[in-house]
Chains A and B, each alone.
Chain A
Amino acid sequence: ETGVTQTPRHLVMGMTNKKSLKCEQHLGHNAMYWYKQSAKKPLELMFVYSLEERVENNSVPSRFSPECPNSSHLFLHLHTLQPEDSALYLCASSQDTGSSTDTQYFGPGTRLTVL
């Protein structure tokens, strides 16, 4: 629908598990983003990648580890998460990060529950 897909759509994991979230964009964009959306909070920007290079790490704990192997794919590796990390994780892409008028295209999100 929007050209950005995310898998899995739902994930339940224990605090000792290791899992990965995957995002793929089919729009030919150069920039990709990870956001965290918790209940009753603004979207929190976590990471920004531009041309496969991480250009922003918004004070995110090291238990979240992003990976961008190419401009179409973005991963978020998770390990030893806490229950407060339960949230909707949204991936987005945009043409670039150099223009203030770039629209961001969002995936449907992964609903993560940490037990």
Chain B
Amino acid sequence: SQQGEEDPQALSIQEGENATMNCSYKTSINNLQWYRQNSGRGLVHLILIRSNEREKHSGRLRVTLDTSKKSSSLLITASRAADTASYFCATDLLSNSGYALNFGKGTSLLVTP
């Protein structure tokens, strides 16, 4: 079943502005990952944040995690046109087969020059 839910569904900003996307989930997690997908392509892993971490940085990306609110946010600073893509959060899901990922519907980000 769907675990992560991104918000907003779509976001349009201008180059240089910051973009913030949010993800909410329903059950306890060990970690949360963010992925990016360019139109019609596969997903690319961006960053993983563990449940005992509150904030993590990678280049222009900043991810926060609030386990009490079961939510995470992805901030892209100083956005560029090349950041145009869909962004997905994914939570770990433990089943009889081991760990898999539960993806949300994603946030579609458009960065205009």
Instruction: Report whether over half of chain B's contact residues are helix, strand or loop; otherwise say mixed.
Output: strand
Which of B12-20, B57-65, B69-77, B101-109 is near enough to bind chain A? B101-109
Q: Which residue of B lies closest to A99 (CB)?
A: B99
Q: Which residues 85-115 of A have a CB within 8 angstroms of B? A: 88, 90, 92, 96-109, 111
Is A15 an interface residue, CB under 8 A from the partner? Answer: no
| List of A residues within 8 angstroms of B97 by Cβ | 48, 50, 55-56, 97
| List of A residues within 8 angstroms of B35 by Cβ | 106
| List of B residues within 8 angstroms of A111 by Cβ | 40
| Of the residues A33, A56, A101, contact of B31 by C-beta under 8 Å | A101
Contact residue range for chain A?
A: 20 to 34
| List of B residues within 8 angstroms of A101 by Cβ | 30-31, 48, 50
Known: A48-B97, A56-B100, A97-B98. 10 other contacts (CB 8 A): A33-B100, A55-B96, A55-B98, A56-B97, A88-B40, A92-B43, A102-B99, A103-B45, A105-B45, A106-B43
Q: Chain B interface (Cβ within 8 Å of chain A)?
A: 2, 4, 30-31, 33, 35, 40-45, 48, 50, 88, 92, 94-106
Q: Chain A interface (Cβ within 8 Å of chain B)?
A: 2, 4, 6, 31, 33, 40-43, 45, 48, 50, 55-56, 88, 90, 92, 96-109, 111
